[in-house]
Structure 1
Amino acid sequence: MQRNSMEKPPRMSIMLLGSTGSGKSASGNTIIGIRKTFKEDFSPESVTRTCESAQTEMDGETITVIDTVGLSDTSVKIKHAESQIEKMLTLHSVDVFLLVIKLGETFTKEKRNVMQLSQIFFGSKLLNHTIVLFTHGDQLHEPIERYLSKCKTLQSVVGQCLGGFHVFNNKDEDRSQVTELLEKIKSLREKNGDSRYTEEDKKTLLLKQQDAAASLLAGAVAAAAAGAAIVIGSVVGATVGAAVGATEAVAGVKAAAEAGLAASVGAAALTVGKATIMGAAGGAALAAATAVSAGVYWWYAK
């Protein structure tokens, strides 16, 4: 066995992915066949601080196993894990990713995020090269299919992975479970036409992510500019509207004044007319009265 080898990539390479405490290191030791190859311990904190690789020979085939840093929700640890994985990809192309999930535990949001983080790291191509590896098989007291039927989320995770799933009991030294896993890996490799996940795939993914980020930024800038234009347009519109309103108001006042003047002139004319009419009527009445008085005077005089 050779550790951390930088030789030509072997015929089969396996990368273990999973959250802290899922059993990645123990599974790596089970595959290699030497218990102390990768450091493992019962701890809530990640024991694997850096990605490590080890090689073994099985059935005439050289196999490289890569143990990775536990994925978590902490942004600093995520960045550290991605950096470590990227370094490992410069040394090894990957035939299969083993997404390690511990049986007997509630499939929490944090554990579900491991799948999402893995896809962020490797893109959708990851799913074509992934087998879900369930650990702590010794705690499974029913067929794995029945166990999975109780959790739709786990069913969904397995359904997305082209390689299906496998169960490990890392306390059992029976090598048949490793042989069965290698057969599933060979079958998956055939489905993929013997293609591997390489450093170039990661670089291509990073370029796509950068383009997507640039597009999002450009969209955000455009949206902000459009919003600013709307605000400016509203202010200008309000200002122009106010100016037009003021002009219309002045015109209205002027029209009202003119109308008021016309009304005053009309009232005066009406008053004069009324006076003229009244004066004429009064004159006629006076003339009539005079005539009557004169007639009465003439009658008495007779």
Structure 2
Amino acid sequence: MGALPINIAGELNPQSNRTRTVVLVGRTGNGKSAVANSILGKKVFKSVAKASGVTQSCQMQQTQLKDGHVINVIDTPGLFDISAGSAFISKEIVKCFNLAKDGIHAFLLVLTVRNRFSEEEESAVQSIKELFGSKIIDHMIVVFTGGDVLENDDLTLDDYLEDCPRPLQEILTLTKNRTVLFNNITKDERKRAEQVQKLMSLVNMVVAQNGGKPYTNELSYELKRVASKKQMQAEYDAKLKKITVEMEAKINELNSRLEQQLAVEQAARRRAEEEALSTHRRSAEEIAKLRESLERAQQKIQAPPRRSGGCAIM
């Protein structure tokens, strides 16, 4: 595919100066839909505790905040889960950009404090960067779910991140520590409002730092260009299909690289574990031999001396 990740800045039109469009990305089970519902202030997206993803396709809902800002919230399925197929991912990415007609002001990378930051999580972030382009980092905010867990342990988000793994620390550094903690099960309306307000402050900060311009790339630009010409439906569908196929090919290539990288890392980890196990076994055997030798020595020391043989002559 052509240079998909190239960033093409789009000016906000006057009508959208107070409109913000955010896209939630992250792995299945991290709580994207719950965060979306918290932002909207009502349960719109289905959010339940399941091993498989509940959101099956990109969806957008809109609400108006008390400060007058209109916010478009786009919830996505687990686009970067290992089980997600390339055809599905490419179709949903295209749909995401179709929904965000005026560009995307912020990408919300949803992680959870309930689980450790895994290699699969790191691969998902890498996929997001490669498919959307490196400029996505300038529009990214990291949202942690599971705020109730930290509250129960009297911990803050800073406490949790104090000894976070290196890959996660690198992400936080790249995003200039734009983080917010969400408790999606709290009944405290004041707390719910505060976490949404903090998120929107970060969104507005991202918008300001990017000169008021939302994120767009070659894909979104091409979709908008084709649609604006009001071409015949057949021509539009053909172009859309071509873009989707090219996106799918790029995803297949990326997945292949990531799978190879993961396989190498897993093989290295297995070798290290096998070497450690072998060393442990050798040590155990040597200890057993030493213990056996020590026991024999102790038995010799403790055994009474033998009496000389022969019969006494009376």
Superposition TM-score tier, normalisation by shorter sequence: 0.5 to 0.7
Identity %: 32
- Give the equivalent residue in structure 1 for 2:123: 113
TM-fit CA distance, 1:68: 0.3
Number of corresponding residues? 202
Structure 2: tracts of 5 or more residues without a match:
1-14, 223-242, 254-314
Instruction: Work out whether residues 138 and 169 of structure 1, in 8 Å CA contact, stay in contact via their aligned partners in 2.
Output: yes
Deviations 1:146-183 (A, max 9, x none): 21121132211111124611110001242111011101
* Equivalent-residue separation in structure 2 for 1:88 and 1:163 (angstroms): 26
TM-fit CA distance, 1:48: 0.6
Structure 1: tracts of 5 or more residues without a match:
1-7, 217-302
Change (3 A) 1:103 1:135: same
Change (3 A) 1:79 1:113: farther
- Give the equivalent residue in structure 2 for 1:41: 48
- Please list, as runs of the form range in 1=range in 2, the aligned pairs for 1:259-298 lying within 5 A after superposition: none
Q: Determine whether 1:188 maps to 2:195.
A: no
TM-fit CA distance, 1:67: 0.1
- Give the equivalent residue in structure 1 for 2:81: 72
* Equivalent-residue separation in structure 2 for 1:203 and 1:109 (angstroms): 33
Instruction: Work out whether residues 119 and 126 of structure 1, in 8 Å CA contact, stay in contact via their aligned partners in 2.
Output: yes
RMSD across aligned positions (CA): 2.6
Instruction: Work out whether residues 57 and 92 of structure 2, in 8 Å CA contact, stay in contact via their aligned partners in 1.
Output: yes
TM-fit CA distance, 1:203: 6.1
Q: Determine whether 1:90 maps to 2:98.
A: yes
Higher CA-based Rg: 1
Greater RCO, CA 8 A, separation 6+: 2
TM-fit CA distance, 1:195: 1.1
TM-fit CA distance, 1:12: 0.4
Deviations 1:164-212 (A, max 9, x none): 11110001242111011101110111001011112536568x8xx99xx
Change (3 A) 1:146 1:122: same
Task: Return the match for 1:198 from 216, 222, 227.
Answer: 216
Q: Give the match's secondary structure for 1:90.
A: helix
* Equivalent-residue separation in structure 2 for 1:149 and 1:201 (angstroms): 38
Counterpart residue type for residue 49 of structure 2? F
Q: TM-score, normalised by structure 2?
A: 0.59
TM-fit CA distance, 1:88: 2.0
Q: Give the match's secondary structure for 1:50.
A: coil
- Give the equivalent residue in structure 2 for 1:132: 142
- Give the equivalent residue in structure 1 for 2:272: none
Structure 1's consecutive aligned runs of 4 or more residues displaced over 3 angstroms after TM superposition are 199-204
Higher helix share: 1
Counterpart residue type for residue 146 of structure 2? H
